């Protein structure tokens, strides 16, 4: 998916081959202004090699006019995949940086192009997503499709085919973080009540800057966990009749889905009636589909990319079907009489990332 402002930036940056980040795990235009391009030369003073975003600090200028700048880059996980390490630059190295400036006027720049000794570094290529179906879904001993890796293999689910929670039948363009390509689409995304539409629009106009997941590393409850950068892993603990959902990004959290026939009341010794980030989830198999019913959410998080509002009345029915070895079909029905005028549905496919362990990304890492 192309970044909505990409065309504009390429236009104004004419000669330089400027590619905006496509894999930043949160909306970088919330902090940086794509219209304010800059070029900096500096000498590295400190490398903060940490998630969510790596920062290179460098001194720019000479004599009494030296200022320390922060150059913000992609996550450790993305940079590492592209074979860069915390040794790639060291204090004392001279860098050329082309990027976009922070909106608040602080000495921060998002590094679109970083060059060390004439060589471009920290270049994260866009992931190619191949949605070719695989063979038949592997089965568990009980004959059900396996939602996780078969014994002796590794892999996880990522690369959602839709990156915003939009009602089935709509055709809404949004970037990886759920930022609408066209704000006029806001009212078409879902059957919002007026206050919910207004809040959704406000969050969009603020470029998702208020996202609690970004601000405070709070968990992605609801459908959002299936649209995250760095994917999810479903681990079936058949012995205990439960399924773990492991989230690769955000704070590498876990969610539990119980298949043991329990009611959606508090677990033993814990959460008898307090509302939760992940809610209380109970599931059962219907043929080859795992159907999960979840309620008991709190209102302290965004339950979707793009910031669709919800209330503590939120009740979800999620359906997981591994249609082939490479594809997980995710369907969700949203029933929230606090925020929407009727029940509505959405869904997308996730792709199996074979042969790789789920990334372990901690939002908390790059904080004091």
Partner 1 sequence: MRHRALGGACILALVLASLGFGQAAAQGPGGQSRGAQDVGQGLPAAPAAGAQAARGAVAAGPAKPTPRKADGKPMLGTAPGEPALWLPSGGGGERFVNADTADASADKLRISEVPMQPWARAILDYRLENQLEPHTRCKPSGGPRQFLTPYGVEIVEMPDLKQILIMDLGGPHTYRAIFMDGRPHPADLQPSYYGHSTGRWDGDTLVIDTVGFNEKFWIDRQGTPHTEKLHMTERLTRTDYNTIKYVVTIDDPGAYTKPWTSGFNFRWTANSELFEYVCQDNNYAPDLMVGAQEFVDRTSKIVP
Distance CA 219, CA 252 (A): 9
**How far apart are CB 185 and partner 1 at their closest, in Å?**
29
Helical (H) or strand (E) element with 96: strand 94-102
Ramachandran quadrant class, 339 (left: phi over 0; alpha: psi -120 to 50; beta: rest): alpha
Q: How many helices (H) and strands (E) does the chain have?
A: 4, 15
Among 29, 253, 304, 351, the residue binding partner 1 under the rule CB under 8 A is 253
By CB under 8 A, which span of 18-26, 161-169, 191-199, 249-257 interacts with partner 1?
A: 249-257
Distance CA 199, CA 213 (A): 17
Tell me which residues in 74-113 interact with partner 1 (CB under 8 A). 76, 80, 85-86, 106-108
Residue with Cβ nearer partner 1 (146 or 188): 146
Among 36, 81, 300, 319, the residue binding partner 1 under the rule CB under 8 A is 300
Secondary structure (3-state) at 281: strand
Binding mask 15-34 for partner 1 (x = CB under 8 A): ----------------x---
Cis amide leading into 322 (omega within 30): no
Residue with Cβ nearer partner 1 (231 or 347): 231
At residue 128's C-alpha, the angle toward residues 152 and 149, to 5°, is: 15
Residues constituting the chain:
368
Tell me which residues in 189-248 interact with partner 1 (CB under 8 A). 215-219, 235, 237, 239-241, 244, 246
Nearest to 41 by CA among 66, 75, 17: 66
**How far apart are CB 295 and partner 1 at their closest, in Å?**
14
Among 6, 19, 22, 57, the residue binding partner 1 under the rule CB under 8 A is 57
Among 185, 288, 299, 365, the residue binding partner 1 under the rule CB under 8 A is 365
**How far apart are CB 128 and partner 1 at their closest, in Å?**
23
At residue 282's C-alpha, the angle toward residues 271 and 277, to 5°, is: 45
**How far apart are CB 22 and partner 1 at their closest, in Å?**
21
Torsion, Cα 192 196 198 200, to 10 degrees, reads -90
Name the residues that contact partner 1, by CB under 8 A.
Answer: 31, 46, 48, 55, 57, 68, 70, 72, 76, 80, 85-86, 106-108, 148-149, 151-152, 215-219, 235, 237, 239-241, 244, 246, 251-254, 256, 266-272, 274, 276-278, 300, 360, 362, 364-368
């Amino acid at each position: 998916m192309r970044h909505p402002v990409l065309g504009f930036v390429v236009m104004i940056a004419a000669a330089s081959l400027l590619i905006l980040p496509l894999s930043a795990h949160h909306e970088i235009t919330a902090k940086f202004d794509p219209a304010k391009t800059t070029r900096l030369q500096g000498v590295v003073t400190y490398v903060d090699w940490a998630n969510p975003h790596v920062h290179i600090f460098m001194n720019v200028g000479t004599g009494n006019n030296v200022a320390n700048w922060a150059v913000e880059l992609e996550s450790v996980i993305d940079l590492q995949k592209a074979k860069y390490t915390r040794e790639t630059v060291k204090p004392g190295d001279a860098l050329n940086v082309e990027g976009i400036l922070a909106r608040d006027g602080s000495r921060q720049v998002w590094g679109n192009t970083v060059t060390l000794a004439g060589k471009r570094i920290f270049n994260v290529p866009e992931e190619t997503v191949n949605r070719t179906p695989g063979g038949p879904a592997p089965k568990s001993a009980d004959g059900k499709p396996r939602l996780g890796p078969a014994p002796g293999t590794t892999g996880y689910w990522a690369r959602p085919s839709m990156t915003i929670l939009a009602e089935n039948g709509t055709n809404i363009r949004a970037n990886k973080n759920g930022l609408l390509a066209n704000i006029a689409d806001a009212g078409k995304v879902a059957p919002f009540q007026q206050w919910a539409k207004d809040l959704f629009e406000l969050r969009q106009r603020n470029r998702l800057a208020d996202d609690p997941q970004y601000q405070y590393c709070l968990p992605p409850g609801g459908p959002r966990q299936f649209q995250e950068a760095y994917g999810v892993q479903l681990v079936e603990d058949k012995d205990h009749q439960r399924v773990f959902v492991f989230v690769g990004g955000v704070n590498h959290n876990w969610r539990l889905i119980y298949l043991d026939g329990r009611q959606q009341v508090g677990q033993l010794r814990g959460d008898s009636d307090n509302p939760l980030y992940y809610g209380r989830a109970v599931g059962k198999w219907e043929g080859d589909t795992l159907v999960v019913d979840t309620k008991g959410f709190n209102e302290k998080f965004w339950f979707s990319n793009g910031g669709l509002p919800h209330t503590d009345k939120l009740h979800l029915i999620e359906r997981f079907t591994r249609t082939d070895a490479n594809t997980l079909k995710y369907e969700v029905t949203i029933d929230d009489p606090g925020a929407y005028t009727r029940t509505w549905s959405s869904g997308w496919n996730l792709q199996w990332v074979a042969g790789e362990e789920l990334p372990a990304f901690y939002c908390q890492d790059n904080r004091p």
